[in-house]
Amino acid sequence: MASDAEIFASFSTKDISPSVSLEVCNRGFLSACVRVKEVSIMLAARRLTWARVRSAVAVMAPRGHSLPQAPRLLNNAACALHTRNRTAWQKALTAEEFTLSQTKPGTTIAAVNLLQDQKMLQVRWEDSSVESYPYIWLRDNCQCPNCYHPFSQARRVMLKDLDLSVACVDVKVSNAGEGVKMLWADGHQGTYDAHWLQERAFRGPKPEPRDRECRLRQQLVLHDDHALLTFLESMEVMGVAVVSDVPCEKDQIYSFAKRIGRLKSTPYGETFNMQTRMNPNNLAFTDDCLDMHTDLPCLAAKPEIQMLHVIKEFPGEGGETMLSDGFTAASKLKKNHPEYFDMLAKTLVDFVDVGIEDGVKFHICWRAPVIDLDVGGSIRTVNWHQMSRDSRFQVSSSEAAVKWYSAAFAFRDLLYDADNLVELKLQSGDMIVFDNLRVMHGRQEFCADQGERWLQGGYLEGDSLRSLRRVLREDIAA
Ligand code: OGA
Ligand code: ZN
Ligand code: ZN
């Protein structure tokens, strides 16, 4: 299979449908088009984070226009990229997706006035509405190349060089009302685009504030089918996805679960609260480090998808979440140490968990290899749980036991290898959703004396998510 870089290196502006290219050229929007291409290539090379990609899209819309579909376009493109589906990727860049919205009426400046006492620029728009912009704000946000770097969207002018009493000596309306040119007392000049100014009006409705755009994908998961589909697809392909801004209240996990799938209950309940307890029946309820693991390999019907909702992030140091792709580690093991891979795939291990939860006794155990293969030899599941692995080990000899340990340690090293390990401090409101049969998770130790840490967890049936993913795809295509 061709690598991402090869796939996308062949892209050119021609790949965007001819009518759009023409329209783009006619209006002088070629740069927007080229930027889409640049962004796609950078994305392909995985050199950009999502935040950076979204910023790039925000700047690539030509003056006076916006690309309302940009977040969806890129999300679709990202999914296509994950699945290495070139056709889908191209579809994501089609004309329909790439329509530019026109400048809204009222964006032209009719007149300007310097309110020297108040140190404000007063702008009268064509529709007679008036807006004032403070000098200090204007100087701070000068858009000239010395003061602002458009591609990285970074302010270059330094706070130490700004003066609250900055004085403006002259202002002119430029280009038939499309902008204003300010001349500052120190001789610096800056031009401000009318649309740019209007978007930043201090009073009145504020169209699409930037921070909302940056968080679009996360906030809309529960309300927008496209966003939900993107979420489900990324989770399935990557093994993990995080939704932020879920209200920090107990049992929010139920509404979340209802929207994306069907809960699967276990002896720990339909959902469970991870808080330190006085008499913990599981290490989860202590402040100890939790070695990387998959949850409940001691069940025959293992929970497939896990959700963890952070109701209260830990205020002190520690308690970080660790994630590692068990399939990547297993594939590397197969490549580097095929004999170890075989050992972990063929040796049955007992996992057991005995306890009492909510007054009900349970005793669950299951026997499975660490690497569970399907008939075709592909990895179906990884089972890894140091805490509940039975000391009774059903291998044929003590020598065989030692060999198994060598293999298990090689696997452990790959799991904890910096290339494969992600460590993140989840924040209040985060909901992390991951494939419990593939992605290992763990927790760094923390000190319960330093404050409260509260996570509510639950499991979902994988089939319910995959079903919804197919239904949404079909509905959206229809
Ligand atoms: C668990 C677990 C994670 C955490 O209890 O199985 O993975 O962050 N807990 O407490
Ligand atoms: Zn400047
Ligand atoms: Zn766990």
Lowest mean pLDDT among 159-163, 178-182, 205-209, 351-355: 205-209
CA 178 to chain centre: 37
Which residues span the domain enclosing 27?
4-93
- 143 and 57: one domain? no
> Do residues 76 and 187 both lie within one domain?
no
**Is 102 a domain residue?**
no
Mean pLDDT of 88-92: 43
Residue 216: per-residue pLDDT = 38
User: What is the model's pLDDT at position 478?
Assistant: 85
Whether the predicted pLDDT of 261 surpasses 70? yes
Distance between CA atoms of residues 141 and 148, nearest Å: 8
Radius of gyration of the chain (CA): 28
Separation of 292 CA from ligand 3 center, angstroms?
A: 8
> Are 168 and 221 in the same domain?
no
Please tell me if the CB atom of residue 292 comes closer than 6 angstroms to any atom of ligand 1. Answer: no
The structure tokens listed for 460 are 């979902």
Q: Which one has a higher pLDDT value, 286 or 314? A: 314
Q: What HEC string does the chain produce?
A: CCCHHHHHHCCCHHHCCHHHHHHHHHCCCHHHHHHHHHHHHHHHCCCCCHHHHHHHHHHHCCCCCECCCHHHHHHHHHHHHHCCCHHHHHHHCCHHHHCCECCCCCCCEEEEEEECCCCEEEEEECCCCEEEEEHHHHHHCCCCCCCEECCCCEECCCHHHCCCCCCEEEEEEEHHHCEEEEEECCCCEEEEEHHHHHHCCCCCCCCCCHHHHHHHHHHCCCCCHHHHHHHHHHHHHHCEEEECCCCCCCCHHHHHHHHHCCEECECCECEEEECCCCCCCCHHHCCCCEEEECCCCCCCCCCCEEEEEEEECCCCCECCEEEEEHHHHHHHHHHHCHHHHHHHHHCEEEEEEEEEECCEEEEEEEEEECEEECCCCCEEEECCCHHHECCCCCCCCHHHHHHHHHHHHHHHHHHHCCCCEEEECCCCCCEEEEECCCEEEEECCECHHHCCCEEEEEEECHHHHHHHHHHHHHHHHC
Of 134, 169, 199, the last residue of a domain is: 199
The model's pTM: 0.58
What is the structure's pLDDT at 212?
39
Ligand 3 centroid to residue 151 C-alpha, Å: 41
Alpha carbon distance 84, 44 (integer Å): 10
Q: Which of 68-72, 148-152, 468-472 shows the lowest per-residue confidence on average (mean pLDDT)?
A: 68-72
Reading the block at residue 73, the tokens are 């376009």
Closest C-alpha to ligand 1, atom 7? 442
Of 282 and 424, more confident: 424
The CATH code of the domain that includes 369 is 3.60.130.10
Calculate the average pLDDT of the chain: 78
Q: How far is the CA of 145 from the centre of ligand 2 (A)?
A: 6
Range of lowest pLDDT (97-101, 188-192, 239-243): 97-101
- Residue 426's closest CA among 319, 293, 331, 295? 319
The predicted pLDDT at position 245 comes to: 85
- Give the range with max mean pLDDT: 59-68, 72-81, 303-312: 303-312
What pLDDT score does 11 carry? 27
Report the residue count for the chain: 478
| Rounded distance from Cα 325 to ligand 3 centre (Å) | 14
Query: Does residue 164 belong to any structural domain of this protein?
Result: yes
Q: Are residues 282 and 394 both part of a single domain?
A: yes
Q: How many percent of the chain have pLDDT more than 70? A: 73
Q: Which pair of structure tokens corresponds to residue 16?
A: 């965007």
Same-domain check for residues 296 and 257 = yes
* Confidence grade of residue 87 (pLDDT, cut at 50, 70, 90): very low
Residue 395 has pLDDT above 70, yes or no: yes
Residue 160 has pLDDT above 50, yes or no: yes
The mean pLDDT of 36-44, rounded to a whole number, is 42
The predicted pLDDT at position 205 comes to 55
Whole-angstrom distance, CA of residue 50 vs CA of residue 56: 10
Amino acid found at 243: V
Which residue has tokens 């309110």?
115
* pLDDT confidence bin for 62, thresholds 50/70/90: very low
- Residue 151: the pLDDT is 54
53 lines ligand 1 (CB under 6 A): no
Higher-confidence residue: 409 or 214?
A: 409
Does residue 29 contact residue 100 with C-beta atoms inside 8 Å? Answer: yes
State the pLDDT at residue 100. 34
* 420: in domain: yes
Starting from the CA of residue 139, give the closest ligand: 2
> Does residue 183 sit in the same domain as residue 255?
no
Domain presence at residue 55: yes
Is 290's C-beta closer than 6 angstroms to any atom of ligand 1? yes
Does 182 share its domain with 301? no
Q: Which residues contact 146 (CB under 8 A, 6 or more apart)?
A: 156, 157
**Banded pLDDT at 343 (limits 50, 70, 90):** very high
The mean per-residue pLDDT over the stretch 218-241 comes to 82
Task: Compute the average pLDDT of residues 154-173.
Answer: 89
Any domain includes 403: yes
Average pLDDT, stretch 255-272? Answer: 95
Q: How far apart are CA 372 and CA 344, in angstroms?
A: 8
Task: Let me know if residue 320 belongs to a domain.
Answer: yes
Q: Name which residue sits closest to atom 4 of ligand 1, judged by CA.
A: 443
For residue 323 and ligand 1, the question of a CB distance below 6 A is answered with no
Higher per-residue pLDDT: 27 or 150: 150
Closest CA to 215 of 202, 204, 224, 203: 224
Q: Which tens digits make up the pLDDT trace of 214-223? A: 333 444 667 7
N- to C-terminal Cα distance for the chain? 30
If asked whether residues 246 and 280 sit together in one domain, one would say: yes
Residue nearest to atom 8 of ligand 1 (CA): 443
Supply the pLDDT for residue 416.
Answer: 92
Which of 155, 170, 199 is a domain's end point?
Answer: 199
Pocket probe mutation, ligand 1, options 455, 456, 459, max atoms within 8 Å of Cβ: 455
pLDDT the model gives residue 287: 86
Q: How confident is the model at residue 204 (pLDDT cuts 50, 70, 90)?
A: low
pLDDT tops 80 at residue 466 = yes
Please check the confidence at residue 122 and state whether its pLDDT lies above 90.
Answer: yes
Q: Which of 311, 441, 447, 454 to mutate to test the pocket of ligand 1 (most atoms within 8 A of CB)?
A: 441
Which residue, of 93, 127, 154, is where some domain finishes? 93
Mean pLDDT of 101-116: 74
Extract the tokens encoding 116.
């020297």
Number of domains in the chain: 3
Confidence class for position 24, pLDDT limits 50, 70, 90: very low
In ligand 1, which atom is closest to the CA atom of 285?
A: 5
Between CA 324 and CA 439 the distance in angstroms is 6
105: exposed, middle or buried (Cβ count in 10 Å: 0-12, 13-18, 19+): exposed
Q: Tell me, yes or no, whether 323 and 233 share the same domain.
A: yes
Q: Which residues, by Cβ under 5 Å, contact ligand 2, an ion?
A: 142, 144, 146-147, 190
The answer on 370 and 255 residing in a single domain is yes
Give the closest residue to 166 by CA, choosing from 140, 146, 190: 140
- CA–CA dist 65, 152 (Å, integer): 19
Considering only residues 382 and 78, tell me which one the structure prediction assigns the higher pLDDT. 382
Q: Is residue 186 part of a domain?
A: yes
- Residue-level pLDDT at 192: 92
Using a 6 Å cutoff on CB, does residue 441 contact ligand 1? Answer: yes
Q: What is the β-pairing status of strands 321-325 and 421-424?
A: antiparallel
CA gap 215, 233 in Å, rounded? 18
The alpha carbon of 303 and the centre of ligand 3 are apart by a number of angstroms equal to 11
Q: How many whole angstroms separate alpha carbon 339 and alpha carbon 413?
A: 16
Lowest mean pLDDT among 26-40, 200-214, 291-305: 26-40
* pLDDT given at position 152: 58
Contact at 8 Å (CB) between 432 and 221? no
Other CB atoms within a 10 A radius of the CB of residue 14 amount to 8
Question: Of 54-68, 220-234, 316-330, which one has max mean pLDDT?
Answer: 316-330
299 and 427 in one domain? yes
Smallest-distance ligand from the CA of 442:
1
| Per-residue confidence band for 150, with pLDDT thresholds at 50, 70 and 90 | low
- Identify whether residues 38 and 147 lie together within a single domain: no
Residue 57 is assigned to a structural domain of this protein: yes
For residues 352 and 300, the answer to whether their CB atoms sit within 8 Å is no
234 pLDDT above the threshold of 50: yes
Residue 124 phi/psi, 5° resolution? -105, 120
Distance CA 40, CA 8 (A): 8
174: domain CATH number is 3.30.2020.30
